[in-house]
Structure 1
């Protein structure tokens, strides 16, 4: 089969590798959609991350946002059958620790923890071997591409909104209108948040956010005051999806008193020059949110048909596996929506 590898130095390579066979408790999926995440670009494609074990790339097939069809079932698999349509929660944990039992494999610290596309083969391939427990069945009205978008990006955005208790009582600001920011805006609308404003330096991404209805109005980063005015004097919830120090500063500036800041975008640095007037006196709540858990991802997948929401609407470009290098180059520009590999 074909598999995409990321050797670093902003390159992607397609190689022939043996077809995998399912072992105990595993299923083999024929890949139908596998999207590219900003974490792939930041931590693997440009330069292999060092220091954080969760982000150590082990030279495996890339892609941690897979969805596919079950084509073979290993011994001990009891829930899935050939023909089932699934997306894959992208971290496989030990299955025994407290975090895993609660569905937060992302927080598993056991040596067995391995993320698809990082420490074990991922979805940028014709086939992917997955643990049955990591698979979430897709309803008939949810496409494979919808599932791939949920597998990380929409799941991450949904968790952040849940942690901030976003509802129809809230004005929402989204900083960073890449794929996760688009997801936050679209899901925020389904949870009732209004109005919704967005900030991003890319005119292309601001325009896409408006076209998709992810935000009501979109602004450049230096238009914070205009965004605050549209929000009625400040947002109740601001979600930073940029992962940048300036973006996080903008998110804080967009909040009204007693607002909630959700940090979703990966990256270091947040400068708050005057803590008392900026955070303490206005009683700002800061919430960190990392990916999601299995239960919330299943919940999200189940709600999509009722919300008439197709996450695949954020996919701006589709490529075949053999075109992986071009797909990664486009994703690296930071101007597109979601970029997908569709075998």
Structure 2
């Protein structure tokens, strides 16, 4: 089977692998859609980080946002069966530590058994993928495989963060950084009833994409006047909730300072720094900052149920689709930042 490998020098290599055979408790999945995450670009496409939770092991098949259909089950599988449509929760944990028992395999503390798909074990940029049954989420018939691929990381990550800060019809929300995660934040905030959604972004192409989605009440060019602009759009008060998806120091500060008293802020964007003054920026206004990393598997199951109920489709945010033989073009486009979500698609997902 054909697979994509990331050598860490800004290129993609296509290689042939044998189709794996599922062992006990494993399933073989025919991949239908595999989307590209910003963390792939940050940590793998440009350089290899060989240690830690995002330490890609050279030579492994890339892709941690896969979705497909079960082609074969191994012995010992108890819930899922052949032809089931499934999303793969992209970290396989030990299953025994406290975090795994909570469903947060992302935070598994086992150095030996925690292995993320597309990072420390083969991922979904391939025609077929091997996964453990415990890492699967059933994809409802109402959702496409490209919807499911985005739930595997991006939408799951956003949903977790929004649940931490709480979103309802009382809220004006600021979202900084309008790449795929920022757009996902807007889509979910709108579905959860946010009264007003304001976005900031530095890249012109992404501003245009955000405006075309019609998810935002206002889209602002990122700059030094953003705090004043946001306050002007909220009657001088600021937003009740703020979501940073940029990992940019100045954008994070905008989230903090543009939030009103008692406001809640969540940081989703990975990396970067944040400089603020604790007393005037946080303590005196009784604000709260949350950090949020991926999600737990039961909340991912909850999310797909709600996406189906709400009738919203993450695939709407895909701006470019490529076949696997053009994976190099797909990763290069995602690395440019001048796009929405990018997907590598197979079979009926090709449009």
TM superposition score category, shorter chain reference: over 0.9
1:245 aligns to what?
249
Match of 1:337 among 336, 340, 348: 340
Q: Which runs of 5+ in 1 are unaligned?
A: none
Query: For 1:249-288, what aligned pairs fall within 5 Å after superposition?
Result: 249-272=253-276, 274-288=277-291
CA RMSD after TM alignment: 1.0
Q: Could you tell me whether the CA contact under 8 Å between 1:197 and 1:231 is conserved in 2? A: no
Query: For 1:9-28, what aligned pairs fall within 5 Å after superposition?
Result: 9-28=9-28
Q: 1:8-43: per-residue Cα shift (whole Å, max 9, x none)?
A: 111111111111110010000000000000000001
2:349 aligns to what?
none
Q: What TM-score, normalized by structure 1, do the two folds share?
A: 0.97
1:90 aligns to what?
90
Instruction: Figure out how many residues of one structure are paired with residues of the other and give that number.
Output: 341
SS in 1 for 2:329: helix
Q: What TM-score, normalized by structure 2, do the two folds share?
A: 0.95
2:158 aligns to what?
157
Q: Could you tell me whether the CA contact under 8 Å between 1:245 and 1:271 is conserved in 2? A: yes
SS in 2 for 1:187: helix
Aligned equivalents of 2:66 and 2:256: distance in 1?
A: 34
CA shift, 1:253, in A, is 2.2
Q: Which shows bigger deviation, 34-43 or 259-268?
A: 259-268
Q: Which runs of 5+ in 2 are unaligned?
A: 347-351
CA shift, 1:50, in A, is 5.2
Q: 1:160-182: per-residue Cα shift (whole Å, max 9, x none)?
A: 00000111111101000011110
CA shift, 1:280, in A, is 1.1
User: Where does structure 1 differ by over 6 angstroms across 4 or more consecutive aligned residues?
Assistant: none
Query: For 1:1-343, what aligned pairs fall within 5 Å after superposition?
Result: 1-49=1-49, 53-59=52-58, 60-110=60-110, 111-222=112-223, 223-224=225-226, 225-232=228-235, 233-272=237-276, 274-343=277-346
SS in 2 for 1:106: helix
CA shift, 1:324, in A, is 0.7
Q: Which shows bigger deviation, 220-229 or 100-109?
A: 220-229
CA shift, 1:191, in A, is 0.9
Q: Could you tell me whether the CA contact under 8 Å between 2:50 and 2:57 is conserved in 1? A: no
Q: 1:150-209: per-residue Cα shift (whole Å, max 9, x none)?
A: 110000000000000111111101000011110111100111112000000012212222
SS in 1 for 2:53: helix
Aligned equivalents of 1:258 and 1:250: distance in 2?
A: 16
Q: Could you tell me whether the CA contact under 8 Å between 1:25 and 1:74 is conserved in 2? A: yes
